[in-house]
Every structure is written in structure tokens, then in C-alpha cells.
Amino acid sequence: MGHEGDTFKRMSRRCARPGCGQPADTTLSFAYDQRQVWLDDLWADDSPANHDLCARHADRTQPPRGWELRDRRTGVAGAAASSAAAHVQLVDDGLRYAS
């Protein structure tokens, strides 16, 4: 019975982007000390430290300059490649900024 409630709770959560309102399927979290942003499948726990996003807004997430994006969602085509590409772009941006 507890799992059914978790499923309903996850299904009823909405994207945190203002004006969106689409069902959330991704949890966005941060590690400030490591300068990392994570995208995960929607967590069962609704923590105020994290943000729920719909697939469209999760796919469009850009980390702050100098941060690394790690897309750990299951079933996302190219998640590892997009994470690596984002990291390379951030490193490249950092090198241009330092020059």
C-alpha cells in the first residue's frame, strides 16, 4: 500500500518552472561544494532542497558556468553524451574566460 501512495504522489507533482505545470518526471539537485548539478528520475521524496522538472525543462537544463551536469536519468537517449558535452563546453568556456 505504501508504494501506491508514493506512485500517486510522484504523479501529482508538477514542474517547478514558473508557468509550466506539466507533470514532473525528473529531480534536479545540486552539490554546491563540488559544483555539480544532477538530473535523476523523479525521487519519491519531495525535498525542498531539490527541484522537480518535466522532461522538456530537464532536457534543456544548463548548469552554471564552471559546473558539471550529470544526467543520471534512465531511458534518456544520449544522457551520458550530453553530460560529457556539457562538461567539455564548461571547460572550454572557462579557458576562454581565463585567457
Integer angstrom CA distances of residue 87 from 6, 26, 50, 71: 34, 20, 21, 11
3-state secondary structure 23-77: ECCEEEEEEHHHCEEEEEECCCCCCCCCEEECHHHHHCCCCCCCCEEEECCCCCC
**pLDDT digits 0-9 by tens, 2-16:** 444 454 444 589 999
**pLDDT for the residue numbered 76:** 76
CA distance 23 to 64: 25
Structural domain containing residue 8: 2-98
Average pLDDT over residues 74-84: 60
Q: How many domains does the chain have?
A: 1
pTM for the full model? Answer: 0.66
